[in-house]
């Protein structure tokens, strides 16, 4: 199943109430300044978490963004796309604007409140600010 097809399933139409994310604890160790515990909406159902686990490990680099790599819908998403293209990094994108439950669930999954969200080798890497910071250091 492709990344995009995974998010067109019925699993993304109804959130489970009261489910909190335990995903991405490693990212907190690397990014201690991030907002902790901000998400409490319960949008991350067990089914969504399982599908996100599959999707983020299905590609070496995947970017959850507003829009697509061909047509970014926000400046921050476009910035990360341009960095990845400049570095000739093959990557896949998923448009989070197409699905409200996916968008809210991802915030809990990564414990990161903004988009884009970049995953490398199945691990949450960061958003635009972290990607730009690392690109500048190259």
Chain segment 88-101, per-residue pLDDT in tens: 999 999 999 999 99
Q: How confident is the model at residue 25 (pLDDT cuts 50, 70, 90)?
A: very low
61-65 and 92-95 strand pairing? parallel
Instruction: Summarize the confidence of residues 75-85 as an average pLDDT.
Output: 98
Concatenated DSSP letters of 93-138: EEEGGG-HHHHHHHHHHHT--SS-EEEETTEEEE-HHHHHHHHHH-
CA-to-CA dists, residue 123 to 24, 98, 105, angstroms: 7, 23, 16
The residue extents of the domains of the chain are 15-137
Query: If you average pLDDT over every residue of the chain, what do you get?
Result: 79
**CATH code for residues 15-137:** 3.40.30.10
Among 35-44, 48-57, 119-128, which stretch is predicted with the lowest mean pLDDT? 35-44
Question: Quick one: which H or E segment has residue 75?
Answer: helix 75-86
Predicted local confidence at residue 32, as pLDDT: 39
- Which has the closest alpha carbon to 64: 19, 126, 17? 126
In our burial notation (b when 16+ CB lie closer than 10 A, e otherwise), range 42-61 reads bbbbebbbebbeebbeebeb
Phi and psi based region of residue 89 (left: phi greater than 0; alpha: psi -120 to 50; beta: remaining): beta
Q: What is the pTM of this model?
A: 0.72
Q: Please say whether the beta carbons of 56 and 62 come within 8 A.
A: yes
Q: How confident is the model at residue 41 (pLDDT cuts 50, 70, 90)?
A: low
């Amino acid at each position: 199943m492709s990344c995009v097809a995974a998010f067109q399933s019925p699993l993304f139409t109804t959130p489970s109430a009261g489910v909190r994310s335990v995903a991405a604890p490693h990212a907190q160790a690397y990014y201690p300044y991030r907002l902790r515990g901000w998400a409490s909406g319960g949008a991350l159902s067990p089914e969504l978490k399982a599908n996100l686990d599959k999707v983020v490990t299905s590609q070496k680099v995947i970017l959850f963004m507003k829009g697509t790599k061909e047509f970014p819908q926000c400046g921050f998403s476009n910035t990360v796309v341009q960095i990845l293209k400049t570095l000739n990094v093959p990557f896949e994108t998923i448009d989070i604007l197409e699905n409200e439950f996916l968008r809210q669930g991802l915030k809990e999954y990564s414990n990161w409140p903004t988009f884009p969200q970049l995953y490398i080798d199945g691990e949450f890497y960061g958003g635009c600010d972290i990607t730009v910071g690392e690109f500048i250091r190259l």
